[in-house]
Amino acid sequence: MGHLLMVESWVGSMSRLLPRALRESGHEFTFLTRDLHHYLRSAPEGAAHPLLSARNVLTAETNDLDTLLPRIGELHKVLRFDGVLTSCDYYLPAVARIAAYLGLPGPAPDAVADACRKDATRRALDEAGVPGPRFAVCADWAATVAAAREIGYPLVLKPVDLCAGMYVRRVDDEAALSAAYRALADFPVNARGQRREPQVLLEELLDGPEVSVETVSFGGSAHVVGVTDKSVGGAPAFIETGHMFPAALTGADAAAAADTALAALTALGLDDVVAHTEIKLTSRGPRVVEVNPRPAGNRITELVRHVTGVDLAAAFVDVALGREPDLTVRQTGVRSAAIGFLVPATAGVLDRIDGTDALDGAPGVLEVQLAEPGAHVKAAGSNNEYLGHVMATDPAGGDRARAHVESLIAGLRPCVVRR
């Protein structure tokens, strides 16, 4: 049995999947957070949050690494941690530093820090010759305008240090660029109380479908678990509306995406990580969108598990403990699994969701999770505003789960009252 230190967490699916993986593997964990109410608010009414299954729940200022490291050092003397992990992007660099500080397994801190900064990732991949978009890192508005003219419209404006597609926008002209730039500048502190870096990243707009490559690296060897496809909507934002595993690709395209993802991990120096690398399959070949040194979100790990039997949450725990993960593919009887998200178009209060009766008894449905009436709704501008999801397999036993899920989602009609 291992005892892991979990420093913060996402409040979405991984905040439930990781405690489950720890429990099923016979391990226990201590949960450390700066704000426990951040998680309690996300628990269903009358239910205990899975993070409260921790052996210990402790508070500390997790945003101040200088004071956090000695505090954790003292805790380690008493509680004896065997590994440290987090599912939250904003704390991945801190966790890598903590693991190194305690002499526990973990990836190189500098590699994680570079992967979690979109500008540093771009520079590292560019220096290594890993294909990506033309880009510019801009310190102010004047530099942004000049870079946009040099790269050429249309392009994409991104923050260098936010997640879930927040404030990532397509811009087609200088007026749109100005609007996107101002909106980002008006968001100086992220949801975890961390001050953002003021730079912006400009990239050429890439054509072609987007996929993600799910990998596990351990002991100097990287293993490709598979390739997931992605549906995107909400222009000019880039909102993930669904995923399917495995992606419906030719063998050549899947191999090219996997090879590009592995090259990106090597360029960043990432090892001993479960990673989720996003790739655009452009007309000029694969191009790296970003590298995430943690398991995929949006329940992609569950799609993988339903199809292959490989539990990426459990692999994440094993890697954090310095143990070789079990990546054996098993026959599950499922060839294709997909998830679709209900994306709100208007703000207000949710009155009801019509069309849910069609989900009762629908073939192949694995999960249905929908917001309850009375929920406050924001018009979606990122992956943070979903009203729920439907996950299903291809009921015919083939590889068309995506089409099945899209038809189920299309039948749901959220009724939002403006207030």
CATH number of the structural domain spanning residue 164: 3.30.1490.20
Are 200 and 310 in the same domain?
A: no
Are 305 and 345 in the same domain?
A: no
Residue 173 belongs to a domain: yes
Residue 124 belongs to a domain: no
- Please report the pLDDT score of residue 42 as a whole number: 73
Residue 46 belongs to a domain: yes
- Please report the pLDDT score of residue 32 as a whole number: 98
Are 286 and 351 in the same domain?
A: no
Are 14 and 73 in the same domain?
A: yes
Contact 278, 210 (CB under 8 A): yes
Out of 306, 332, 358, a domain closes at 332
Residue 305 belongs to a domain: yes
Residue 274 belongs to a domain: yes
- Please report the pLDDT score of residue 13 as a whole number: 84
Are 327 and 213 in the same domain?
A: yes
Are 275 and 365 in the same domain?
A: no
Are 200 and 92 in the same domain?
A: no
pLDDT tens series, the chain, 419 aa: 899 999 999 988 888 999 999 999 999 999 999 999 888 877 666 677 889 899 999 999 999 999 999 999 999 999 999 999 999 999 999 999 999 999 999 999 999 999 999 999 999 999 999 999 999 999 999 999 999 999 999 999 999 999 999 999 999 999 999 999 999 999 999 999 999 999 999 999 999 999 999 999 999 999 999 999 999 999 999 999 999 999 999 999 999 999 999 999 999 999 999 999 999 999 999 999 999 999 999 999 999 999 999 999 999 999 999 999 999 999 999 999 999 999 999 999 999 999 999 999 899 999 999 999 999 999 999 999 999 999 999 999 988 999 999 999 999 999 999 86
Are 173 and 290 in the same domain?
A: no
Out of 204, 232, 259, a domain closes at 204
Cβ atoms within 10 A of the Cβ of 28, count?
17
- Please report the pLDDT score of residue 12 as a whole number: 83
Residue 113 belongs to a domain: no
Q: Cα-flanking dihedrals φ and ψ of residue 416, to 5°?
A: -110, 130
Out of 332, 355, 374, a domain closes at 332
Residue 198 belongs to a domain: yes
CATH classification at residue 65? 3.40.50.20
Are 232 and 175 in the same domain?
A: no
Are 243 and 316 in the same domain?
A: yes
What distance in Å separates the CA atoms of residue 76 and residue 181, rounded to the nearest whole number?
43
Model-level pTM?
0.95
Are 345 and 315 in the same domain?
A: no
Are 315 and 341 in the same domain?
A: no
Residue 127 belongs to a domain: no
CATH classification at residue 367? 3.30.470.20
Q: How many structural domains is the chain composed of?
A: 4
Q: Tell me the residue range of the domain where 339 lies.
A: 334-419
Closest to 82 measured CA to CA, from 188, 193, 1: 1
- Alpha carbon 24 to its chain's center: 23
